[in-house]
Structure 1
Amino acid sequence: MADLKRTPLFELYQEHNAKTIDFGGWDLPVQFSSIKAEHEAVRTQAGLFDVSHMGEFEVEGVGSLAFLQKLLTNDLSKLVDGQAIYTAMCYENGGTVDDLLVYRKADEQYLVVVNASNIEKDWDWMVQYKPESVSMNNISDDTALLAIQGPLAENILQKLTDEDLADIRPFRFKDNSTVAGVKALVSRTGYTGEDGFELYVKSADAPSLWGQLLTEGAEDGLVPTGLGARDTLRFEAKLALYGQELTKDISPLEAGIGFAVKVNKEDPFIGQDALKRQKEEGLSRKLVGIEMLDKGIPRAGYEVFVDGESIGFVTTGTQSPTLKKNVGLALLDINHTELGTKVEVQVRKKRIAAIVVATPFYKRPRS
């Protein structure tokens, strides 16, 4: 087996009794204490994640905006400096290459953040469309990413920076900030359904920042948090995961992220015609929530049936730590997606009763 890649924080994991797993070729912590305890900490206090496996590309030069507009489903023309946007990148047939974040740092200067498992694929896809006037730089290996998430995230982080964090609204960021003596891009974004920040720093600075955040946040209940809780948190908030809710065979519209697809934007993008057609003709399937009525957990890949006929499959499922219910996201035939529709999930050799329910399963309380 090939050697697993490691983030700059790997040596620190053992200090917190981390249990690591192979995650897309990376040796990453699935949990430090327990998934449920870490999940609860993020929902009620705060959690600190190492997500340095994510990919970062710098895109700059004359024509950068036009280049990204051609590749991406959302409309970047309305971005201002210091603003980020969530978007998808599609194939001609509307299938998804990846979902990603784009940060506008200045006119014709962007940071593109992609999923770890797609770094090479995304790079190759983008390079083939890049005009000569645009430069692309893969800074993934030189960049670490820490995410502090939860209702106390701002309080904790504010102790370590002179930046007024209250001024950074959701999907806004401050570049060249200093946090605990470390230069950082501070972004009010995350993947948990909670308030919080993501901190992009140089790889060499990550261990120091990690330690100072945990020390400063200890009295507020900040805990190191692994990929297990990251998955249950994003799942409850119905945040798509590439490889499950989004794939080359699942379009952004089917996956429920139509808000990030501007089919009528003036700058044509790859996959626009296919997605426009999908929207105009109506989807043949879409992502919905299901809740198990009988005992059983709907795991990814399990088939879903109505009257003995297969109507789709589960993309993600677990016992929700917040709801204490067995729930899942499933991509189903459009004719069986109304709330209250009774379905059956094939759990091993049995078909277990379930019902279509509203999503997201969790919404952050308004403050």
Structure 2
Amino acid sequence: MAKLYSSVDLLRTPLYNLIIQQKAKLTEFSGWEMPVQFGGLKLEHQAVRTDVGVFDISHMGKFVLQGTQVISSLQSLVPSDLERLQRGQAQYTVLLNSQGGIIDDIIIYNQGKTETGKEKVVIIVNAGTTQKDKIWFLEHLDKKTITFKDLSQEKVLIAIQGPQSILKLQPLVKEDLSQLKFFGHLEGTVLGKSAFIARTGYTGEDGFEVMVDPETGQKLWQSLCQTGVTPCGLGARDTLRLEAAMSLYGQDIGDGTTPLEAGLAWLVHLDSKGEFIGRRILEQQKAQRVNHRLVGLQMEGRHIARHGYPVFSDGNKVGEVTSGTLSPTLEKAIALAYVPRALSKVGSTLEIEVRGKLYPTKVVKKPFYRSLNRPYN
């Protein structure tokens, strides 16, 4: 992931100086200068799988919407039924264009009604699509009834991930985190300051994401690291999410792929909601079935399939790898790729071209790894 880059004009999170002090290796990511690793990718990956790690994810887009009928207004922009969300619940979903393509994958947190009776919603989006998403929301939401705040560069967002995450975070939080269900969230108190706390993450493990002001964020980062929590970079974040078969926007999903093609059919609630952008295309795809699908692949040897490597069947190119790595947990080379529907069945044998040679691979069930510690409730 690391590459040569110029730090000129790159954005930096409020944790940048602390990360520099910890001698992190830096890289450019979506216009931000971010840590790719601290003590080493495998060490950081293993810490999250067996103990706990902490990530600076302040580069993510952070929006707050307040007003009347916020949830019902968002209904027309996503294929998921948001009306079933209760206060304190969240929904992972996708913004769609008119062709059913994915503008971005996002999480919508329903915070219920404020003291003034207005609905309040927090939305976390990808760093590289923050401006695009902001424009999309402002174009499609009623500015007279809904206020839109972009807190992307005003707040720190920290992810504490791993089976021991609650033990490390709880001493710093006033509220009882054990009462927070998976994909639950609350307005709480961290180190004596107000904070947004969600039991969500991008690693496939149990964990929390905490949004606070910069000063509190710096203190939280230091406090966690002082108690033995392993600081982690984007390198481990990528291998962790790929083992859990979580899509990366811009590689595994994008404007040209629909949620049905991307294996995200569970986000599409055609039967329980009305009109939304892209619905007609998804209805057609559901009726006729998609032409190609995103599948999980496992190499039979240790040759690693990387992003962009071609996939073959009987000598013919049939697809392309979107993400690939050597899984630190499984110690096997794994990948995601779009292939024709006829070749997408688990057990199908394909080949991937690695440095000019073809190597066998097999379609396997996703996710590649499923944590026994994650609270699926």
Provide the TM-score with structure 2 as the length reference: 0.93
Residue identity matched to 1:229: A
What letter matches 2:174 in structure 1? D
Matched residue, 2:138: 127
- After TM superposition, the structure 1 stretch with the greater mean CA deviation from structure 2, 357-366 or 299-308, is 357-366
The 5 Å alignment of 1:182-221 reads 182-215=193-226, 217-218=227-228
Which amino acid is 1:10 matched to? Answer: Y
Runs (4+) off by over 4 Å = none
Give yes or no for contact 2:290–2:341 (8 Å, CA) kept in 1: yes
- CA deviations over 1:318-344 (Å, ceiling 9, x no partner): 000001011111111111111221111
Deviation at 1:209? 1.2
Alignment deviations for residues 242-289 of structure 1 (CA, whole Å, 9 cap, x no partner): 111110011111111111121233231101111121112111111111
* 1:225 is the counterpart of 2:232: yes
Give the corresponding residue for 2:116.
Answer: none
2:54 and 2:161 in contact (8 A); partners too: yes
Q: Distance in 2 between matches of 1:195 and 1:283?
A: 33
Which residue of 2 is the match for residue 343 of structure 1?
350
Structure 2: segments with no counterpart, 5+ residues: 1-5, 114-118
Letter in 2 for 1:113: I
Find the aligned partners of 1:3 and 1:295 in 2 and give their Cα distance. 39
Q: Is the 8 A contact 1:103 1:112 kept in 2?
A: yes
8 A contact 2:206–2:373 mirrored in 1: no
Alignment pair present for 1:28 and 2:39: no
Unaligned regions of 5+ residues in structure 1, if any?
none
SS of alignment partner, residue 103 of structure 1: strand
Partner of 1:151: 163
8 A contact 1:141–1:203 mirrored in 2: no
**Does the 8 Å contact 2:191/2:216 carry over to 1?**
no
Does 115-124 or 202-211 show the bigger shift? 202-211
Which residue of structure 1 aligns with residue 327 of structure 2? Answer: 320
Determine which of 97, 103, 107 is the counterpart of 1:101: 107
In the alignment, is residue 142 of structure 1 matched against residue 158 of structure 2?
no
Q: Paired residue for 2:178?
A: 166
Partner Cα separation in structure 1 for residue 20 and residue 154 of structure 2: 23
Q: What is residue 292 of structure 2 aligned with on the other side?
A: 285
Looking at structure 1, the residues matched to 341 and 146 of structure 2 have their Cα atoms a distance apart, in angstroms, of 42
Residue 366 of structure 1: how far off its partner (Å): 5.1
2:175 alignment partner AA: E
Q: After alignment, is 253-262 or 21-30 more displaced?
A: 253-262
Does 2:276 align with 1:276? no
* Contact in 1 for aligned 2:302/2:326 (Cα 8 Å): no
Shift of 1:114: 0.6
Q: Percent identity?
A: 41
Residue in structure 1 matched with residue 80 of structure 2 by the alignment? 74
Residue 16, structure 1, aligned to residue 6, structure 2: no
Deviation digits for residues 122-165 of structure 1, max 9, x if unmatched? Answer: 01111111113222111111111001000000011111122111
Amino acid at match of 1:344: E
CA deviation after TM superposition for structure 1 residue 295, in Å: 4.3
Partners of 2:32 and 2:59 within 8 A in 1? yes
Q: For 1:115, which of 114, 126, 147 is the aligned residue?
A: 126
1:265 — aligned with what? Answer: 272
Check conservation: 1:96, 1:246, Cα contact below 8 A.
Answer: yes
CA contact (8 A) 1:13 1:29 kept: yes
Name the CA distance, whole Å, in 2 between partners of 1:62 and 1:14: 44
* TM-score scaled by length of structure 1: 0.96
Q: Structure 1: which amino acid aligns with 2:325?
A: T
Q: Is the 8 A contact 1:320 1:326 kept in 2?
A: yes
| Partner of residue 85, structure 1 | 91
After TM superposition, the structure 1 stretch with the greater mean CA deviation from structure 2, 154-163 or 22-31, is 154-163
Provide the C-alpha distance between the structure 1 equivalents of 2:276 and 2:151, rounded to a whole number of angstroms: 25
Task: Give the distance between the partners of 1:16 and 1:320, measured in 2 at CA.
Answer: 26
